[in-house]
Amino acid sequence: MALQPDHDTATAEGQRPPLEPAAPTEQRNPRTLDIDVRPTLEVLRLLNAEDATVATAVERALPELARAVDWVVEAIRTGGRVHYFGAGTSGRIAVLDAAEVGPTFGLPDGVFVAHQAGGERALRNSIEDVEDDAALGARDAGSVTAADVAIGITASGRTPYVAGALRAARHAGARTVLFSSNPGAPLADLADCHVLTDTGPEAIGGSTRLKAGTAHKMALNGLSTAAMVHLGRTYSNLMVSVDGLNSKLRSRQLSILREASGAPADRCRTELSRCDGNLRLALLCLLSGQEPSVAAEALLAAGGSVRRALVMLPPNGAR
């Protein structure tokens, strides 16, 4: 599938090629035509009214998002990784999600990998031409394997950088996912799953850091969080995989352990110490009454899920 640049260029015969239809995010929004003459509070109300439509757009995408989540869970369980690819706002949102999912759920580095077109410099400064570089996307996807999931994020659904990455990832045998806000996304043909958050025209035409960016942030939050839930990185709705890397997180570990087990603070503190700061192991010991060595074997066999490990352990009475 040939990708055309967004600008109009002449052919060798002097004829101009037909332009691709404008993505919905590039169209004018009839509800905000006079935004530039409204007082401040009215401007904010217009923006807020547009933002209020985002959750509904994400809701419509949930069936396809669920497919992507299941693929991510399968990949991580079998030693694979999750790669995000994006340019501009899309890439920065991907970097944020990949950076935060690790410490939130106690994942080692490198399970979620975000590739921003233009690299680290493009995180702070706009480098507009790199999004048109399909070869750069292919190079950035060079580490993708058949065990991985590759997720391209592009509001317009046509960014060449993302196209190059998805094409290379598909060639490597990886499952491919497209996040876009364009029902007619040209890159949908490169994806096994299209998570479409159709947010329509932006309040400011083409400013996809607004609704489209918010929708992709919500969808990525859902993807990574739901995957971690299925991988046993939570117990109920508690972050039982968080590592105590600083005083705030150690305090959070203790409060989570008290909430989940019902044990008093001194017992929770003692159990955390016995388990070398492993929150899931400490919780399993408190709930099952087992020693850390026995509980650790069950936790390993249960793939890290405290709830599944509890079913596997012989009853021993709570400590």
Give SS3 for 179. Answer: strand
DSSP β-ladder status, 112-116 and 149-153: unpaired
The first and second tokens of residue 10, run together, are 């002449």
Q: State yes or no: is 50 an active-site residue.
A: no
Given a contact cutoff of 8 angstroms between Cβ atoms, the answer to whether 25 and 199 are in contact is yes
Catalytic residue among 26, 74, 100, 297: 100
Backbone angles phi, psi at 168, to 5 degrees: -65, -40
DSSP β-ladder status, 112-116 and 82-86: parallel
Q: State yes or no: is 100 an active-site residue.
A: yes
Instruction: Tell me which residue of 47, 73, 102 sits closest to 214, measured CA to CA.
Output: 47
Output the DSSP codes for 60-114. Answer: HTHHHHHHHHHHHHHHHHTT--EEEEE-HHHHHHHHHHHHHHHHHHTPPTTSEEE
- Reported as type and span, the H/E element at residue 212 is helix 211-230
The first and second tokens of residue 31, run together, are 């509800």
The first and second tokens of residue 286, run together, are 């408190």
Between CA 194 and CA 70 the distance in angstroms is: 14
Between CA 241 and CA 244 the distance in angstroms is: 10
Between CA 46 and CA 31 the distance in angstroms is: 8
The first and second tokens of residue 304, run together, are 């890290």
Catalytic residue among 50, 64, 131, 271: 131
Given a contact cutoff of 8 angstroms between Cβ atoms, the answer to whether 44 and 76 are in contact is no
Q: Which residues are catalytic?
A: 100, 131
